[in-house]
Amino acid sequence: MKDIFTWMRWPWLRGALHVYALPGQALREALVPFHEPIRQVPFCAVQPAEWFHATVTRLPWFLADPTIPPVADITAAVARAVATLPPFTLQLDGPRVTEYAVTVDAPASPEWTALVTAIRAAAAELDPGRELPIPPYAPHISVGYGIADGDDEVLREPLAAMTGTGPFPLPVNEVHLLAVQQDPQRGIFCWEPIAALPLGG
């Protein structure tokens, strides 16, 4: 495992606009047991349950940048993009250790792909001269983030031995526009909410 905050350097640590799907309380509680093996190692930090999220896409804007479109226009563009898409549910599998995090992943469904594509297209239309960040590799929730180099097997073995490892349903009835903050000292991502935007209008 490696330090995600070294790899994912942002020009500002705060105010990175993202669109997330957020889990409900039941799903957050179901994923908390995966924190225990993470607490036993020095190279991975627990992502607190209150900040669990599935990134739909990072948007190409930071609030500190004076050249971005007005936040009201960004909100309206994302709202229009998701208004015609139906709600759906993802099925998250058990935990796996990646190069930079411990995640629970879901297969990318047509509905998820349509959601990601619609929001990114809306961002490109609103600000056509600005390059979009790469999208997530798949729907996933990170329960811990790498903060230093470490041996993946130290995490893989105890996680593989755990019971109650899914599938875990993640209903996607709405998405959230958020101003996200990296906190490398704590090894977490957190945010300030901007708007909750329902699918299907």
User: Which pLDDT score, from 0 to 100, does residue 108 have?
Assistant: 84
Given a cut of 80, whether residue 72 has pLDDT beyond it is yes
Question: Looking at residue 162, which CATH number applies to its domain?
Answer: 3.90.1140.10
Written as six digits, the tokens of 180 are 């996200």
State which H helix or E strand residue 5 sits in: helix 4-7
Written as six digits, the tokens of 120 are 């990114």
User: Which pLDDT score, from 0 to 100, does residue 163 have?
Assistant: 73
Provide the mean pLDDT of the chain.
96
Domain residue limits at 40: 4-198
With a pLDDT cut of 70, the percent of the chain lying above it is 100
Alpha helices in the chain (DSSP H): 4-7, 25-31, 35-39, 71-83, 110-126, 153-160
Average pLDDT over residues 168-188: 98
Q: Which pTM was predicted?
A: 0.95
Given a cut of 70, whether residue 201 has pLDDT beyond it is no
User: Which pLDDT score, from 0 to 100, does residue 71 have?
Assistant: 99
User: Bridge-partner residues for 146, per DSSP?
Assistant: 44
pLDDT in tens, 89-135: 999 999 999 999 999 999 989 999 999 999 999 999 999 999 999 99
Residue in the block written with tokens 């804007």: 61
Domains held by the chain: number: 1
Given a cut of 90, whether residue 164 has pLDDT beyond it is no
Average pLDDT over residues 47-64: 99
Average pLDDT over residues 74-102: 97
pLDDT in tens, 4-50: 999 998 999 999 999 999 999 999 999 999 999 999 999 999 999 99
> Is residue 42 classed as helix, strand or coil in its secondary structure?
coil
